Amino acid sequence: MSDEARLLAEIHAARALMRGSGPAREAETGPSAAALWAYAIRAADGPVDLAVVRAIRTDPATARRYRALLAGQAIAHAPLAVAASDGAVTIRRVGAFTLEILPASEDGPPLLVLRGEEARALRAIEALLGDEIVRLDLPQALDDAIVVALDPEVPEAARLGAMLRDPACAVFLL
């Protein structure tokens, strides 16, 4: 074997060692970028990869990678949105959008009203607080506003409302 061929073989072997084997490397560094991306672009009502969810909840490095992927595809996001409340209404700014939570009335649940010029482009909202992740599909916008009922009978909607009231909650508008 020539010196050039041996050098190419050694380079190829070194690359293979650096890449590591699939399952062994995943156990060391968490889910692959492809697995995190698939989770980041999932439909709100679609199936989830529980291994990815577990990794996001338990591994801070994986959680940071996931948030970076979400931020990259989000129309607007606020890593730690500041909340202001007068007790009756909670208002938050997320990029160019305003999120307002109106209290429950006698004939309806609390409402999330999302306003912004680009509201028609939004398809989902995702909130992250601690190790909790909630994603809801958004309905069509009417006059640059989206209204979502935070019905206590729908666990995801009720939890989203509670999370959005917390100033430490990260919000991604997708």
Residue 85 has a pLDDT of 47
Q: Per DSSP, which regions of the chain are E strands?
A: 76-78, 83-85, 90-94, 97-102, 111-115, 124-129, 132-137, 145-149, 170-173
Residue 16 has pLDDT above 80, yes or no: no
Instruction: Work out the percent of the chain whose per-residue pLDDT is above 70.
Output: 80
| pLDDT of the residue at 26 | 46
Q: Which of 78, 81, 35, 67 is nearest to 173 (CA)?
A: 78
User: What own/partner pairs with CB < 8 Å and gap ≥ 24 does 54-57 have?
Assistant: 55/30, 55/31, 56/131, 56/133, 57/131
Give the count of beta carbons closer than 10 Å to the beta carbon of residue 67.
Answer: 18
Question: Please, which residues have CB within 8 angstroms of residue 145's CB and are 6 or more apart in sequence?
Answer: 113, 114, 115, 119
Return phi, psi of residue 147, to 5°.
-120, 125
State the number of CA atoms in the 13 A half-sphere of 35 facing the CB.
Answer: 18
Is the per-residue pLDDT at 49 higher than 80? yes
**Once rounded to an integer, what is the mean pLDDT over residues 68-81?**
82
20-29, 37-46, 47-56, 131-140: lowest mean pLDDT where? Answer: 20-29
Nearest by Cα to 32 from 42, 43, 19: 19
